[in-house]
């Protein structure tokens, strides 16, 4: 917070992300009440995150080629217009599922560029020694929003419907755009290149492959990002069918997850000495997978709320550790491309995870949805750990008899 540019960026995000989570909650509940289908909820995730899956690597090249501030001004303005469009459709009284699906796809297209740009912009706003703290504070504000946004949504949506929530989200982008205009960073020389986009993408992938730390971080995020972080698709059915709750209970579950994540983010932000530890990275990834399995056996609303708070706590420790590892290990030349791969692992795999979780939940129920998602993620993390141990064993000196 001693860095002026970071303060402008952070306070703008504080307001905007609350609006974003209000929209996320309203959109999930709107689609569920319209369709009563876990599969169509999953398909919504495919539309929203499909562009990230298909185009994030190309976005990384764009981030490395153009000024990040200008890219962010464009993406934030477009996201504001998307929220206003949703509000107008709801207020018209004739909104249908395919319209929500189309706007979700447009949102995903812009987020494909926005996510790696925002992630790689943080090192431009603070000194290197403060990067871990900045990432922790960014995660804290995301989870403040995850705690406040769903709670506000549950109250307002019960009285006024989803339209005002989408409109408020549109208004929330104004402070972000204003804050970006006020940011004044050192001019970064971007070297012009004649290389083809695909060549630059392959250079970025090779850079990650030849860095064992980056590779472990990306693969771990790939497992958790695909199978654990998509449990939002299951929660509406879990809240109504298993816990027998209405929209208020649904909002409280999401808020509990956000509260746990907030505590975890603040804890990480305060422990900024040294580099992130590999044991914490893979350990937190395995633990959050195991906790998801346990949800299958919980049918009490208060216990479920507590469990989601714990899951949020462990999950954010995992996310911040992965993000910090990647930011501190990547060079400036490749940061945009590396963060685009991180964005792919974090959000681009959501269509696969949404379809996996939605299909299982539709056929076997929300409990089995949680269980199988946790089992698959935990198994992949175990394979990563075994691979690390085998490589260390290969490098160990042979004992003589």
Q: Residue 75 has what pLDDT?
A: 94
User: For residue range 126-139, what is the model confidence (pLDDT) as tens digits?
Assistant: 887 777 778 778 77
Q: What span, in angstroms and rounded, lies between the C-alpha atoms of 167 and 96?
A: 18
Selected residue with higher pLDDT from 79 and 339: 79
Q: What is the DSSP letter of 229?
A: T
CB-CB contact of 146 with 309 (8 Å): no
Distances in Å between the Cα of 114 and the Cα atoms of 60, 61, 80, 308, 397 are 10, 13, 13, 28, 47
Distances in Å between the Cα of 215 and the Cα atoms of 269, 330, 344 are 24, 11, 14
The verdict on residue 189 lying in a domain is: no
Average pLDDT over residues 71-100: 91
In sequence order, which residues have a C-beta less than 8 Å from that of residue 89 and are 6 or more positions away?
95, 99, 100, 103
Q: What span, in angstroms and rounded, lies between the C-alpha atoms of 364 and 162?
A: 29
- The residue with tokens 């804050």 is 179
The verdict on residue 11 lying in a domain is: yes
Q: In this model, does residue 258 exceed pLDDT 90?
A: no
Q: Residue 271 has what pLDDT?
A: 65
The verdict on residue 401 lying in a domain is: no
Q: Residue 293 has what pLDDT?
A: 93
Return the top range by mean pLDDT from 88-97, 148-157, 163-172, 199-208: 163-172
Q: Residue 398 has what pLDDT?
A: 39
The verdict on residue 33 lying in a domain is: yes
Distances in Å between the Cα of 303 and the Cα atoms of 151, 231, 250, 256, 295 are 18, 17, 14, 11, 10
Selected residue with higher pLDDT from 147 and 213: 213
Helix, strand, or coil (residue 5): helix
The verdict on residue 319 lying in a domain is: yes
Average pLDDT over residues 250-264: 82
Q: Residue 148 has what pLDDT?
A: 79
Q: How many CA atoms lie less than 13 Å away from 10 in the CB half-sphere?
A: 21
Q: In this model, does residue 1 exceed pLDDT 90?
A: no
Q: What span, in angstroms and rounded, lies between the C-alpha atoms of 61 and 164?
A: 37
Q: Residue 234 has what pLDDT?
A: 87
- Of 38, 40, 229, residue with least CA distance to 142: 229
Distance of alpha carbon 350 from its chain centroid, rounded? 10
Q: What span, in angstroms and rounded, lies between the C-alpha atoms of 343 and 273?
A: 26
Q: Can you give the pTM of this predicted structure?
A: 0.74
The verdict on residue 116 lying in a domain is: yes
Tokens of 400: 């003589």
Q: In this model, does residue 396 exceed pLDDT 80?
A: no
User: For residue range 288-300, what is the model confidence (pLDDT) as tens digits?
Assistant: 999 999 999 999 9
- CA dihedral 20→24→27→29, nearest 10 degrees, is -140
Q: What span, in angstroms and rounded, lies between the C-alpha atoms of 104 and 85?
A: 11
Q: In this model, does residue 399 exceed pLDDT 50?
A: no
In sequence order, which residues have a C-beta less than 8 Å from that of residue 90 and are 6 or more positions away?
30, 161, 162, 163, 166
CATH code of the domain containing 267: 1.20.1250.20
Distance of alpha carbon 144 from its chain centroid, rounded? 14
Q: Residue 392 has what pLDDT?
A: 67
Q: In this model, does residue 397 exceed pLDDT 80?
A: no
User: For residue range 336-382, what is the model confidence (pLDDT) as tens digits?
Assistant: 888 888 888 887 787 788 788 888 888 898 999 999 999 999 999 99
Number of domains in the chain: 1
The verdict on residue 309 lying in a domain is: yes
Average pLDDT over residues 233-243: 87
Q: What span, in angstroms and rounded, lies between the C-alpha atoms of 16 and 174?
A: 8
The verdict on residue 43 lying in a domain is: yes
Range of the domain at 143: 4-184+195-395
Q: Residue 294 has what pLDDT?
A: 94
CB-CB contact of 329 with 213 (8 Å): yes
Q: Residue 370 has what pLDDT?
A: 93
Tokens of 40: 């169509």
**Lowest mean pLDDT: which of 87-91, 199-203, 309-313?**
199-203
Q: Residue 86 has what pLDDT?
A: 92
Q: Is 346 left (phi over 0), alpha (psi -120 to 50) or beta?
A: alpha
Q: Residue 50 has what pLDDT?
A: 81
Mean of all residue pLDDT scores within the chain: 84
């Amino acid at each position: 917070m001693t860095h002026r540019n970071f303060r402008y960026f952070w306070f703008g995000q504080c307001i905007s992300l609350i609006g974003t989570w209000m929209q996320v909650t309203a959109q999930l509940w709107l689609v569920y009440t319209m369709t009563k289908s876990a599969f169509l909820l999953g398909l919504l995730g495919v539309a929203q995150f499909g562009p990230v899956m298909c185009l994030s690597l190309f976005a990384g090249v764009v981030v490395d080629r153009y000024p990040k501030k200008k890219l962010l001004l464009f993406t934030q303005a477009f996201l504001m217009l998307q929220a206003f469009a949703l509000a107008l459709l709801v207020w018209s009284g004739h909104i249908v599922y395919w319209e929500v699906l189309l706007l979700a796809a447009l949102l995903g297209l812009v987020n494909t560029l926005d996510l790696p740009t925002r992630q790689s912009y943080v090192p431009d706003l603070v000194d290197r020694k403060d990067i871990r703290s900045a990432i922790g504070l960014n995660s804290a504000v995301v989870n403040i929003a995850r705690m406040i946004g769903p709670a506000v949504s549950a109250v307002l949506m019960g009285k006024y419907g989803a339209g005002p929530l989408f409109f408020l989200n549109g208004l929330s982008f104004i402070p972000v755009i204003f804050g970006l205009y006020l940011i004044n960073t050192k001019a970064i020389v971007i070297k012009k290149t004649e290389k083809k986009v695909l060549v630059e993408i392959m250079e970025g992938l090779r850079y990650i492959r030849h860095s064992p730390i980056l590779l472990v971080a990306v693969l771990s995020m790939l497992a958790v990002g695909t199978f654990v972080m998509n449990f939002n698709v299951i929660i509406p059915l879990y809240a109504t069918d298993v816990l027998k709750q209405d929209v208020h209970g649904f909002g409280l579950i999401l808020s509990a997850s956000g509260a746990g994540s907030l505590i975890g983010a603040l804890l990480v932000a305060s422990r900024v000495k040294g580099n992130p530890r590999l044991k914490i990275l893979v350990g937190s990834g395995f633990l959050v997978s195991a906790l998801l399995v346990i949800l299958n056996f919980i049918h009490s609303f208060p216990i479920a709320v507590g469990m989601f708070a714990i899951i949020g706590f462990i999950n954010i420790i995992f996310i911040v550790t992965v993000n910090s590892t990647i930011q501190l290990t990547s060079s400036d030349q490749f940061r945009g491309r590396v963060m685009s791969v991180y964005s792919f692992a974090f959000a681009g795999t959501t269509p696969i995870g949404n379809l996996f979780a939605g299909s299982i939940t539709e056929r076997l129920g929300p409990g089995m949805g949680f269980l199988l998602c946790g089992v698959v993620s935990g198994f992949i993390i175990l394979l990563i750990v075994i691979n690390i141990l085998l490589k260390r064993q290969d490098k160990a000196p042979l004992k003589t008899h």
